[in-house]
Amino acid sequence: MTSSHDPPPAASSKRGAFIVLEGLDRSGKTTQVKLLEQRFVEAGRPVKMMRFPDRSTTIGQMIDGYLKSNVEMDDHVIHLLFSANRWEAAKHINELLASGTTIVSDRYFHSGIVYSAAKGNPSLSLSWARAPERGLPRPDMVVFLDLTPEEASKRGGWGGEVYERAEMQRRVRELFRGLGGLEGEGAVERDEDVVVVDAGGGVEEVADRVWGAVEGRVGEVVRGKRGNVRVVE
């Protein structure tokens, strides 16, 4: 059950909203994306849940092998595969949004740039990492579910994949908080699409915070105030 805030407003504009949830590994993204999807379903609004990486494609299977430490790859190569995995879905994303379907996505390109930059490879900066993402459909809002690596690691199943190490997760969190306008360690330029939401506490409590963060933006999209889908610049 979802509630405490108003449901998504009735549509007066044709296009759907594009909302992305980001966060550390095991921060509760999948749980919250499902609850957000349910909120739209209950309101009778067309909605589609997506997740990146999409491990079902050929490229996604290569990514899966890397994440499970079955294959080694150069940092730039795996970065470009993650990006290619989004480009595989770009046409479908645009079609869904244009047909009025709202997309709620479990990770998207901000994970791509932040996780790669968090590796500390001097030839893989945030700006280098962003280049292959340029031209992808741009989300209307990106919610970073903020949880400390210590709290995330207490949740089930942490530690099995290649980036699930405390130091890596700490750097990822700092970069995301920097993008969201909160104090981070390095000079990270504020990204106006990113908002930081506290992911601590119960599932329903977090769901209400997420909806509180996105409902205004969803309303703007359905009232036609945000125009057509823009692209990542």
Could you list the residues that contact ligand T5A (CB under 6 A)?
23, 25-31, 52-53, 67, 82, 106-107, 111-112, 115, 155-156, 161, 163, 202-203, 206
Number of helices (H), then strands (E), in the chain: 8, 5
Q: Which is nearer to ligand T5A, 149 or 226 (CB)?
A: 149
* Cis, peptide link before residue 139, omega less than 30° from 0: no
Nearest distance, CB of residue 225 and ligand T5A, angstroms? 29
Among candidates 6, 97, 4, which has minimal Cα distance to 43?
Answer: 6
Nearest distance, CB of residue 92 and ligand T5A, angstroms? 16
Neighbouring C-beta atoms of residue 151, cutoff 10 Å = 15
Q: Which is nearer to ligand T5A, 97 or 124 (CB)?
A: 124
- Per the CB < 8 A criterion, the answer to whether 177 and 199 are in contact is no
Q: Which is nearer to ligand T5A, 3 or 99 (CB)?
A: 3
d(CA 116, CA 196): 20
Nearest distance, CB of residue 64 and ligand T5A, angstroms? 9
Q: Which is nearer to ligand T5A, 67 or 89 (CB)?
A: 67
Q: Identity (one letter) of the amino acid at 131?
A: A
Nearest distance, CB of residue 206 and ligand T5A, angstroms? 5
